[in-house]
Structure formats: C-alpha cells, structure tokens
Amino acid sequence: MSRKPRETSRKKDRATPRARRTPEEARAVILEACQRLLVRDGPDAVGLKDVAAEAGVSHALVTHYFGSIDALVNEALGDFADKQRRLATERILEQPELTPRGWMEQFFAWGGRPETARILAYSFLKGYITSEDFFSRKQRGAKRVVDAIVARMDGTDGRPAVPREDIEHMILVVLAATHGYAIGRDAYWPSLGVDSPGEREDRQFFDRLADMIELYAMSRARV
C-alpha cells in the first residue's frame, strides 16, 4: 500500500512590523494628508475620517493630536503657509540684486495659485481669519518676509534704502492684489471680454502690478 506523500508544512508569512513614528512624524504625515485634501477637494469636503484615510492612520490618532477638524485645518493651513514663507524668504535672500519685482515674483507664485485662493476664501467665510488662533496672527509670517527684504534693501549696496513702513505697505498691496486676483481671475477677465484667461493674462497682470510697486518704491526711497 503506497503512502500518501506527507504535506510539507508552510510557514505562515509574517507581516512586516510597521515602523513606529515619533509624535512629530505622525503629526507631519497627518498635516500633509490634510493639505492634499484641502487642495484637491476643498475645505468643506474634508473631515477627520477623510484625513485619517488619506494619511493611512486611525481616526482615533487624528483626534488625539488635533481634537477637531477646525483645529486640524487651521494647523494645516499654518504649516502650509509657513513652508511657503520659508521658501519665499530663501529665494529672496538668494537673489544677487533684490528688487521689488524680484520679491513680488515669490509672492505671486504662491498667492496667485487657485488652491491658495480657495483656502484663503474658506478661511474668510468660516471666520477663521478673525480668530486669535489663526495662523497668520501667531506666525507673523509676513513680518518675517519684511525683515528679510529690509535687510537686503538697507542702502548698503549703493542703492537708495526704502523705509520699512513703505515695504510693509507694498507687501499688503501685493498680498491683497494676488489673493484677490486668484479668487476672481476667472470672473474679472471675462467681464473685460477675455473669456479664457491664461498665462498671458496672468503675466500681464503681474507686470502691471510690479510696475506700479516699483514706481512707488522709487518715490519712497531715501538717497
């Protein structure tokens, strides 16, 4: 009588243990996931469970670190703005010859993006922007950018210095103009007869704005 071949036992595949993240790493993963959803779906479509799924973590972990969707969104916005501010500042400091047009390029590249405008508009509508905890009040990001510009435009390179107060006013005008343009671009141009605005119109807007700011800077410069 022939024996049946003995079935060889198979070792069960052991799942590779997931690397444990530090609290800082976990928070960063959650914030980045929230930022992706804010850009892709808009703030009104984002909930804690959506962020947890996008980040690949549990809903409980997101709640543990941030508590509510409002707190998470505010911190995600602040983290996003801080990264953009640091990038803009680095590029401003790297420019061999800093001009208003040069640093305006950095503001326009970020502030003129549709996703930035969408998030900013949401912050206005939700009332976040008037809160004491709103990121722009806590980070003072624009002030840090002004500090960098003032340090480069202090007159030591032989060119007339521009007073800090005037640089602050220029920053306010550029921020208001770029954010407003990003929000209303697809309505403003058609009202002027341009139904499909593109890069050409964006460039025209930026160049005209830069011309005005540079003229103002020249008029306020101290010899």
Closest CA to 39 of 67, 70, 86, 80: 80
CATH architecture for the domain at 20-67:
Orthogonal Bundle (1.10)
Mean pLDDT of 190-194: 96
Cα–Cα dist 59/62, whole Å: 5
Q: Collapsing DSSP states into helix, strand and coil, what is residue 49? A: helix
According to CATH, the topology of domain 81-220 is: Tetracycline Repressor; domain 2 (1.10.357)
Mean pLDDT of 85-95: 75
Cα–Cα dist 190/210, whole Å: 23
| Helix/strand/coil percentages in the chain, nearest 5 | 70, 0, 30
Residue ranges covered by each domain of the chain: 20-67, 81-220
Which secondary structure element, helix H or strand E, spans residue 78, and what is its range? helix 69-94
Please provide the average confidence, as pLDDT, over all residues in the chain: 79
46 neighbors 29 (Cβ within 8 angstroms):
no
168 vs 135: which has the higher pLDDT: 168
141 vs 200: which has the higher pLDDT: 200
Q: What phi and psi, each to the nearest 5 degrees, are found at residue 161?
A: -80, 145
Is the model's pTM score more than 0.75? Answer: no
Mean pLDDT of 194-216: 91
Instruction: Give 98-122 pLDDT, tens digit per residue.
Output: 677 877 887 777 776 777 777 777 7
Instruction: Give 17-30 pLDDT, tens digit per residue.
Output: 455 788 889 999 99
Cα–Cα dist 198/174, whole Å: 20
Closest CA to 50 of 34, 66, 61: 34
Q: What phi and psi, each to the nearest 5 degrees, are found at residue 222?
A: -100, 125
Cα–Cα dist 174/85, whole Å: 14
Look at residue 190 and tell me whether its pLDDT is greater than 90.
Answer: yes
